[in-house]
Amino acid sequence: MAFLQMPTWEAALPSKTVMIRYRLFEDPVDATRGNTLEGALRRALNTREGNARIGQRWAKRIRRDPLDNQEHMVANHVRDGRTYVFGNLVAYTLGRDQAVLVENQQAREADIRQLPAPARNQFVNSMVFWFVTDDHVLVAKHGLLNPPDLEVYFRWLLAERTTVCNPNLQVILSETITLPNALARHEEIRAIKIGGQIDARAPHADPENVAHRERRRVQRGGGLEFARRVLDLVVGNNDAAVERILREVPDDVELSVDVEIGFDSKKRKFSREALQRVAAATRNLPDSDVQVVTASGTLSGDELRLSHRARILLNGSLLDRDAVLEAMIDAYRQFVRTGKIDPSELEVADED
């Protein structure tokens, strides 16, 4: 009997590009009792309540918003990989209806109705995937949930739902790590971003209550003339259009102007010398006005925000969670191999 073999290459399957971002867990009041975040989460999930552990019953992990009991967050999927803990955080509103558009080809307009969820079902508002090894945290957004929501949930799970950590626990997932300057400058530079918040008014028109620190930062970053030159190029050397844009900026806001300098080439490899020279030329600008885009994140001064772009398979419109886990492990291994983070007990294979 002959069987039709479906193509197995990844390009033939539906997928989505997702940015995996690195966070570092900080415990400023030492409330974890000597545990890493990974260890604390494992202990919390293994806490027994009745005849089952909290990690075995999703309903035992539901956090209800104290200000609105209809709003729920739950670590729905959790997986203990022995050297890591992985899962997703799901947000939903109890009893929320879903707006649907009812098609009718003969009608002047389609009817929009509120559709209730089927019995014993709830519509999902948002989701975020998380991966923890030691105190390293990787996050992949799949909706509107953000790392601060994860901080709230982890604190509830560790210090309120269980007593794994002291009640004064503060869960801080820091988005930047500090690199030694030599290591930072050996990053493979992909682009230079120059810009920042710029007051759209002339310096003499600044109100007296504008902070002197902000005014100095604008002047060092190029200020109004920098913004005017960039806008002039964007609108095609049209002074009138530039002035009109500047006049239309409201008095209580600042104009953000960014310039990204990079190379676009079909060649796999080419010299990065020119970008290195640009990076050196901008060394005297404020760190807030210059960002170096590298292979592993965005560098401002010696502060690096680590990120890893991954193509992840889809199940319908949802990210495949096994593919997310695989991509997060790949991201962790890349950060370890390039010396950005210290390794945990999760093994990193040598590169071929």
Under 8 Å CB-to-CB from 40, ≥6 apart: which residues? Answer: 32, 158, 164, 165
Cβ neighbours of residue 241 under 8 Å, at least 6 residues apart? 231, 235
Domain membership of residue 343 (yes or no) is: no
Give a yes or no: residue 112 inside a domain: no
Residue 338 has, within 13 A of its CA and on its CB side, a CA count of: 21
In this predicted structure, the answer to whether residue 113 has a pLDDT above a threshold of 90 is yes
Are 246 and 215 members of one domain?
yes
Residues sharing a CB contact under 8 Å with residue 132, sequence separation 6 or more, in sequence order: 25, 37, 38, 41, 84, 85, 86, 138
Q: What is the pLDDT of residue 352?
A: 46
- pLDDT above 70 as % of the chain: 65
Residue 257 and residue 156 in one domain: no
How far apart, in whole angstroms, are the C-alpha atoms of residue 136 and residue 333?
Answer: 12
Residues ≥6 apart with Cβ < 8 Å to 72: 62, 63, 64, 65, 91, 92, 93, 94, 122
**Residue-level pLDDT at 206:** 45
> Residue 46 and residue 38: Cα distance in Å, rounded?
12
- The first and second tokens of residue 208, run together, are 């007296």
* Contact between residue 197 and residue 254 where contact means Cβ atoms under 8 Å apart: yes
33 and 157 inside one domain: yes
Q: Of 85-99, 214-228, 246-260, give the lowest mean pLDDT range.
A: 214-228
User: Do 147 and 36 sit in the same domain of this protein?
Assistant: yes
- The mean-pLDDT minimum among 53-67, 212-226, 249-263 falls in 212-226
Beta bridge mates, 52:
49
Angle at which helices 223-234 and 239-247 pack, to 10 degrees? 120
pLDDT in tens, 131-157: 999 999 999 998 889 999 999 999 999
- Can you read off the two tokens belonging to residue 114? 């509120």
Expressed in percent and rounded to 5, the helix, strand and coil fractions of the chain are 30, 35, 40
Whether residues 327 and 227 share a domain: the answer is no
Residue 8 belongs to a domain: no
Domain span including residue 69: 14-94+122-175+307-337
